[in-house]
Amino acid sequence: MKNSSVQSILGLAREKAIKHILNVLDIDNSLCQFVKTQVDLSVGGVFSVVPADLNVENVVDFSWGFGKGSDNSLPDRILRALKLNSPSIAMFDDVMGSAENVAGHGSCLTNNDEVYHWVVDTEATELKLRDLIRGTGVSWHFLCVVFELENSIDIKDCVMNSKYDSFKNILEVVVGAYDGEGYIHWSPNSRL
């Protein structure tokens, strides 16, 4: 999206954004349910990237698109969050994924037949994050959760067995918005 701006979401728009986040988290899988039970969306910062000529306070429904292109700056924002909070991990929910999508390091099929992909801060690049965003996002669902990690944790075991509480803290939740054209971010600490 050309000519975009990062805007804090406040007031009535914030209430609508939180409702949108909760709708995205309504998918019945372990990561969505964990985030829903662990995050207090009434506190922290909520922000989004929107076309520069739009005031986010005027958004009526966060599921509607703008028709002005997609937000291509998300990989950079996730990369910055990872690098600022080392050790950390970005976990991606692949709601359309199947067993064929889990080849290699950084992916797994859980005991509940859910597919997740992840990248740790030391292996993260903008290109890798871009590929994960494209590979896991659909217009009606996108979820990336940035967790702070303990150094000696077995990530694959935690994901396969839905033991997300083994990760230290949720640093950021990113959900798809605007009919796949953008994202809403929630963080316990306001971060623009």
Other beta carbons within 10 Å of 96: 12
> What's residue 105's pLDDT?
63
> What's residue 38's pLDDT?
93
> What's residue 190's pLDDT?
67
What are the per-10-residue average pLDDT scores of the chain (192 residues)?
A: 80 94 94 95 91 78 82 92 94 86 72 87 94 90 94 86 89 93 89 56
- Interatomic CA distance for residues 145 and 90, integer angstroms: 6
3-class secondary structure, 1 = coil
pTM (2 d.p.): 0.92
Taking each helix axis as running N to C, give the angle between helix 126-136 and helix 74-84, from 0 to 180 degrees, rounded to the nearest 10.
120
> What's residue 103's pLDDT?
66
Are the beta carbons of 182 and 1 closer than 8 angstroms?
Answer: yes
Instruction: Delimit the domains of the chain by residue range.
Output: 4-187
